[in-house]
């Protein structure tokens, strides 16, 4: 009986340790990742200046900005790791297009990464289909095709309204897509919704944490009962030894 009691005692202690070490993991969502890229695009050129001297300072600054807006506790290390994942995914996406043209056709953060790596908000990256073939941005392709048609058919009238209409439509869409104010406002709106969802999930986590605390208390009470039983066994054993003498 004593051996069984001791085994149960150590099992309870192990359960208490497992409960204490259980920590919820952090997961990035789409809007948080987009805001990370937005701050990276804004602050990365400042690395080496008096404001941001090192990359370590860059990630610290980004983490502070994210936590201020989101009300979270994201660490600089979290930010750096997330960037490396996004950077690796983007490079794999571009490499797949460059080598075979049959790689991934969709990358969720393609537009944001294009702006970061291109360095200009209003210029789309040029994609190499082979060593000699280049895929041009859509608007430039339309302009070049119209110019070629004019050279090949000088007597043919080409309606200017069609080209102008297409260019203006593309320009308006491009302007809206690349406008940093519109983009950031959209992201912030989505972040507010995510923040609400985050606090709802946090409330659920707090309830789960409370349940864990209750289990820990119950386990500690069980531990105290075991200790009392152990002490009682030792007293009884000592008492028997005295009687024998």
217-221 long-range contacts (CB < 8 A, ≥24 apart) are 219/12, 219/15, 219/16, 219/19, 220/16
Q: What is the DSSP string of the chain?
A: -HHHHHHHHHHHHHHHHHHHT--PPP---HHHHHHHHHHHHHHGGGBTSSSB-SHHHHHHHHHHHHHHHH-----HHHHHHHHHHHHHHHHHHHHHHHHTS-S-S--TTHHHHHHHHHS-TT-PPPEESSSS-EEPPHHHHHHHHHHHHHHH-TTS---HHHHHHHHHHHHHHHHHHH-HHHHHHHHHHHHHHHHHHHHHHHHHHHHHHHHHHHHHHHHHHHHHHHHHHHHHHHHHHHHHHHHH-
- Residue 201, token pair as written in the block: 């999930």
- Residue 93, token pair as written in the block: 């996406």
86-134 per-position pLDDT tens digit: 999 999 888 887 776 665 678 889 999 999 988 444 334 444 444 444 4
Span 131-140, mean pLDDT? Answer: 43
Tell me what pLDDT residue 115 has: 92
* Four-CA torsion 226, 232, 236, 241, nearest 10 degrees: 80
Span 209-218, mean pLDDT? Answer: 88
Q: Would the pLDDT of 156 be above 60?
A: no
- Pick the more confident residue, 236 or 127: 236
Average pLDDT of the residues of the chain: 72
Q: Would the pLDDT of 37 be above 90?
A: yes
Span 144-157, mean pLDDT? Answer: 44
Tell me what pLDDT residue 28 has: 93
Q: Phi-psi bin for 125: left (phi > 0), alpha (psi -120 to 50), beta? A: beta
How far, in Å, CA of 48 to CA of 229, rounded?
A: 66
Tell me what pLDDT residue 241 has: 66
Tell me what pLDDT residue 132 has: 41
Split at pLDDT 50, 70, 90, the class of 244 is: low
Q: What is the DSSP string of 80-134?
A: HHHHHHHHHHHHHHHHHHHHTS-S-S--TTHHHHHHHHHS-TT-PPPEESSSS-E
Q: Would the pLDDT of 4 be above 60?
A: no
Split at pLDDT 50, 70, 90, the class of 53 is: very high
């Amino acid at each position: 009986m004593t051996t069984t009691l001791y085994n149960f005692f150590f099992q309870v202690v192990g359960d208490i340790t497992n409960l204490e070490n259980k920590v919820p993991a952090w997961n990035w969502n789409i809007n948080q990742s987009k805001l990370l890229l937005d701050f990276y695009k804004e602050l990365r050129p400042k690395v080496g200046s008096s404001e941001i001297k090192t990359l370590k300072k860059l990630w610290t600054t980004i983490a502070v900005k994210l936590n201020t807006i989101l009300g979270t506790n994201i660490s600089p290390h979290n930010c750096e790791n997330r960037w490396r994942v996004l950077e690796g995914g983007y490079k794999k996406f571009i490499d797949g297009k460059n080598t075979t043209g049959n790689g991934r056709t969709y990358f969720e953060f393609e537009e944001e990464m294009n702006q970061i790596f291109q360095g200009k908000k209003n210029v789309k990256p040029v994609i190499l289909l082979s060593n000699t073939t280049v895929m041009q941005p859509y608007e430039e392709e339309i302009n070049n095709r119209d110019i070629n048609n004019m050279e090949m058919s000088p007597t043919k009238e080409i309606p200017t309204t069609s080209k102008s209409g297409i260019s203006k439509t593309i320009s308006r869409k491009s302007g809206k897509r690349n406008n940093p104010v519109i983009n950031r406002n959209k992201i912030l709106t989505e972040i507010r919704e995510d923040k609400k969802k985050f606090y709802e999930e946090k409330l659920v986590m707090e309830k789960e944490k409370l349940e864990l605390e209750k289990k820990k208390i119950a386990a500690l009470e069980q531990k105290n009962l075991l200790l009392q039983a152990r002490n009682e066994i030792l007293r009884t054993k000592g008492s028997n030894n005295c009687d024998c003498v």
